Amino acid sequence: MPAFDLPLDELQRYRPVLDEPADFDAFWQDTLEEAETEAEGAGPVVSQCPVDTSLRLVETWDVTFRGFAGEPVRAWYTRPAGVSRALPAVVEYAGYGRGRGLPHERITWPAAGFAHLLMDNRGQGDRYGCGGDTPDPHASAPGGPGPAARGLLAPRDYHYRRLITDAVRAVAAVRALPGVDGARVSAVGNSQGGGLALAVAGLVPDLAAVLVSAPLLCGIRRALDLAGAGPYDEIAAYLAVRREAVGAALHTLSYVEGASFARRAHAPAHFGVGLRDTVCPPSGAFAAFNRYGELTGREPRREMHTYPFNGHEGGDAVHVRGQLSWLRAVVDDAAGGADGAAAGDAVGGADGGMAGGAVGG
């Protein structure tokens, strides 16, 4: 796939004007307060049951927690076997069309010494991987058949209002689980999962870190024009038939724009993107990165790593290797009382190294 988005030097300066609704903050505050009210007095976790995975170096529990509207959301909770002390935790969000799958599919983070919660995607899980276990009772709202277009005509009906709320509640859930250092909880995700992690960073001010790669729901308007496959294409296909619904759809999408969440984020952030990604165009990731933390009154620590000849796979395992090293340093800083969110930003090259100096103290 040839390069098709802006050149890298323009991406590094790309700060699109956001069509951000005036009630963006109130919308999300009300949404999250409604979810907390549903769980009030009961706690975020519904159940946790040990699972025999035949893996001897990690232990796994089948967890159910209260998500949007207090509805049950499934997750896998995995940690190193035989370790009783409180560990830093990673909450991971899966990609579009995936569910939580099977518990042995994603063990990188617990193998690295983290407690790990992998959230199921409500109403998804039937396109890739090994399925999901969380229904979406609200999936009949007007919109297209795919999750990206479900409820698209009204912000309160939209699928991603529910999924983002689940993602925020997953952080509360992991903090309530045994053996978790609640002060060192990070969010991580790729593609749709990256968009969810970024939303959580904007809605949960005390995250330890956020790791985002190839994020969906960033630079949405431009992505609708550029993307040639995946969720954006589903939205475009729906609007090709419902021509009169364009205005309503764009209004709804403005409430889940990743760059708007990024503006409100405090946590240190690690980004990655393939510059030939036609599913989640790189300009969306840069729109979020370049505005990251701008409403917080400080510059959170942040890094962007780019892979010029890669598409939606980005840096793949090479990028994960960099994530592991970076996050270990961040959580170790936090444990030692260091700032962990010192000012600075940099843009990384395809080898995972820093292509340009860090800025800040």
The residues that are catalytic are 191, 277, 312
| Coil/strand/helix, residue 186 | strand
Query: Any idea what DSSP says for residue 215?
Result: -
How far apart CA 74 and CA 57 sit, in angstroms, is 23
Residue written as token pair 């800040």 = 360
Q: CA dist 255 to 24, 179, 236, 290, Å?
A: 6, 35, 18, 19
Query: How far is the CA of 15 from the CAs of 10, 11, 24, 99, 291, in angstroms?
Result: 10, 8, 19, 33, 7
Q: List phi, psi (to 5°) of 306.
A: -115, 150
Angle, to 10 degrees, between the axis of helix 231-241 and the axis of helix 246-253? 150
Q: Which helix (H) or strand (E) holds 45?
A: strand 45-51
**CB 208 within 8 Å of CB 186:** yes
Pair 135, 123: CB distance under 8 Å: yes
- At residue 254's C-alpha, the angle toward residues 96 and 209, to 5°, is 60
Q: Are the C-beta atoms of 239 and 312 separated by less than 8 Å? A: no
CB–CB of 58/110 below 8 Å?
Answer: yes
Residue 177: name the closest of 69, 296, 284, 48 by CA: 48
Q: What are phi and psi of 346, to 5 degrees?
A: -155, 160
